[in-house]
Structure 1
Amino acid sequence: MPHAPVPAPAATAAAAPRPEHVLTLSCPNRPGIVAAVATCIFEHGGNIRSAQQYDDVESRRFFARITLDHPEGALDAPALRGGLSAVAERFAMRWTLRDPGERRRVVVLVSKFDHCLADLLYRWRLGELPMDLAGIISNHPRETYQHLDFAGVPFHHLPVTRATKMEQEAEIWRIIRETGTELVVLARYMQVLSDGLAAKLAGRCINIHHSFLPGFKGAKPYHQAQARGVKLIGATAHFVTADLDEGPIIEQDVERISHNDTPDDLVRQGRDIERRVLSRAVLWQLEDRVLLNGSRTVVFRN
């Protein structure tokens, strides 16, 4: 029997009121897009609470994130979707309309290093990450994480070797499908996904790489950085693609380092950068703030 996703424990502080729906859209840019969308929302009784938009001159595409509600809390979402479908067809839009109260199901993949997993669990418990954890998958046994409280989240130990990689990934894919997972997070999962699995998870799998990409790709980037004598180290959260460490970048951050720092010092300092970069990227994805723009992203921050 598939496991039901585990909801987050109640937050200790009262959460700020959320808009009823979040609309995201992207399409070829042309006059009239904003007017058509705003008119459609108005005609269906919607009230725009906030609107962010971006016109990419290079790709000639238009992007927007709109939060909306109904003055009396009675938005007819199916009718609005019908109206937006007509607008989308007219402008060749990719769009989503989502109720933030419908939390996304998330599966986290992790290997031996568990600092990112621990941080995600902590933020989830506090209510900072509005998601339902459908499972944790690791190529290491549960005993590796004895100090972590998974709060009833199903744990799957799926060891992997070069000979068993396809079978192991088939099991990962089965868990993702059976749990209705919408977002996969590689929280220092130190296995390269096959091209096939990466393609299945296109646009819904976030990885944290312990380097300020595009520099120092692949294994041991902190050692590479120390060998080159860099003065800044960083971490990068990006969407996973078949090309290793080449996916569209969502978030990055850096820390200044010294010539005195050893590779171990960089690893230690890097853990803090990785945690905060990954948590921000996951939150923005959960809040529909990240839109794909070819090999790049548009990120509508607060």
Structure 2
Amino acid sequence: MDTASSAPASRPQLVATLVCADAPGIVHAVTGAVVALGGNITGSRQFTSAETGRFSMRLQVDVPASREELERELAPVIERFGITATVDTVGRPMRTLILASTAKHCVNDLLFHVESGHLSLEVPLILANHDDNARLAEFYGVPFEHRPITGPADKAAFEDRVRQVVAEHDIELVVLARYMRVLSPELCEELSGRCINIHHSFLPGFKGANPYRQAHRRGVKQIGATAHFVTTDLDEGPIIEQNVMRVDHTRTPQELMTIGQDTESRTLRQAIALFSEHRVLLDGSRTVVFR
């Protein structure tokens, strides 16, 4: 279901997301709370999963009230139906920590679109285990911190620094912008539902060093990328966005890499945009994405 209408531009709109077990009367109760505040629904998407029985809803409203007032009005509904809910201001920059290694394409793409106003993020820090992205960060005016990882102790210290930054800056999203290190199971659990990773996805799949050279040798016909939530199962978290590009036998390994990196950058950016606009809701091992 999808409905939308125009709203006055003089005041910010609010967006609410709601997830719970499906039951009669949820939509009526939620919309009733909006009406009680004199609000107008400008966008509504909802979905009920036949597999899990979970109800998901994204509601955008123009309401002459604050976020806190809408939260208070929704509180009895949330309690009645056992809803997990969020209420936010549409377009508010999401506080985001970027983790990086040596690759620059994803970091550059994200910072460019933030600077251009096309991606609503607030990036207080880029934390990296190599210094390759330092000049990019400086160019865009984003603080950069380099902490080498040469062994288990360094990895533990790096992850402790991640935790510290998350707490200090009230981080809402952690992005692995081709951060080529596996996060510990403990950190994966701590960042559950708010950590997004990007990786290439070939058919067939190639792992290890030089995947594009492997793909060239096998004559792949398409190159793709997958953005997903990070879980303790490596590269198997709920998928948010995927893209694919057709290629043929004329492409060199370098050309395949260029195409692949462009696809990775675009896919990661799209996934982050969807998440920052509260369009991605978890439904077990998969996602509900309201576009």
Partner of 1:276: 266
Is the alpha carbon distance of 1:213 and 1:96 closer, same or farther for their aligned partners in structure 2, counting shifts above 3 Å?
farther
In 1, the alpha carbon distance for the partners of 2:11 and 2:279 equals 14
Structure 1 unmatched runs, 5+ = 1-15
SS in 2 for 1:146: helix
Is the alpha carbon distance of 1:245 and 1:151 closer, same or farther for their aligned partners in structure 2, counting shifts above 3 Å?
same
Q: Percent identity?
A: 49
Partner of 2:130: 140
Paired letter, 1:274: E
Paired letter, 2:273: L
Picking from 152, 159, 174, the partner of 2:148 is 159
Q: How many residue pairs align between the two structures?
A: 282
Partner of 1:186: 176
Is the alpha carbon distance of 1:194 and 1:147 closer, same or farther for their aligned partners in structure 2, counting shifts above 3 Å?
closer
Picking from 194, 197, 200, the partner of 2:190 is 200
Paired letter, 1:43: A
Partner of 1:47: 40
Residue correspondence of structure 1 range 54-203 to structure 2 within 5 A: 54-70=47-63, 74-141=64-131, 144-146=133-135, 149-163=138-152, 164-203=154-193
Is the alpha carbon distance of 1:179 and 1:91 closer, same or farther for their aligned partners in structure 2, counting shifts above 3 Å?
same
Per-residue deviation, 1:215: 4.2
Q: In 1, are the aligned partners of 2:96 and 2:172 still within 8 Å (CA)?
A: yes
SS in 1 for 2:27: helix
Q: Establish whether residue 245 from structure 1 lines up as the match of residue 238 from structure 2.
A: no
Paired letter, 2:85: W
Q: In 1, are the aligned partners of 2:67 and 2:88 still within 8 Å (CA)?
A: no
In 1, the alpha carbon distance for the partners of 2:98 and 2:24 equals 42
Paired letter, 1:166: A
Q: In 1, are the aligned partners of 2:203 and 2:222 still within 8 Å (CA)?
A: no
Q: In 1, are the aligned partners of 2:193 and 2:229 still within 8 Å (CA)?
A: yes
Is the alpha carbon distance of 1:17 and 1:155 closer, same or farther for their aligned partners in structure 2, counting shifts above 3 Å?
farther
Q: In 2, are the aligned partners of 1:186 and 1:207 still within 8 Å (CA)?
A: yes
In 2, the alpha carbon distance for the partners of 1:78 and 1:166 equals 38
Partner of 2:5: none
Per-residue deviation, 1:30: 1.7
Per-residue deviation, 1:17: 7.7
Per-residue deviation, 1:162: 2.5
Instruction: Single out whichever of 85-94 and 282-291 deviates more from structure 2.
Output: 85-94
Paired letter, 1:272: D
Partner of 1:7: none
In 2, the alpha carbon distance for the partners of 1:246 and 1:152 equals 34
TM-score w.r.t. structure 1 length?
0.87
Partner of 1:264: 254
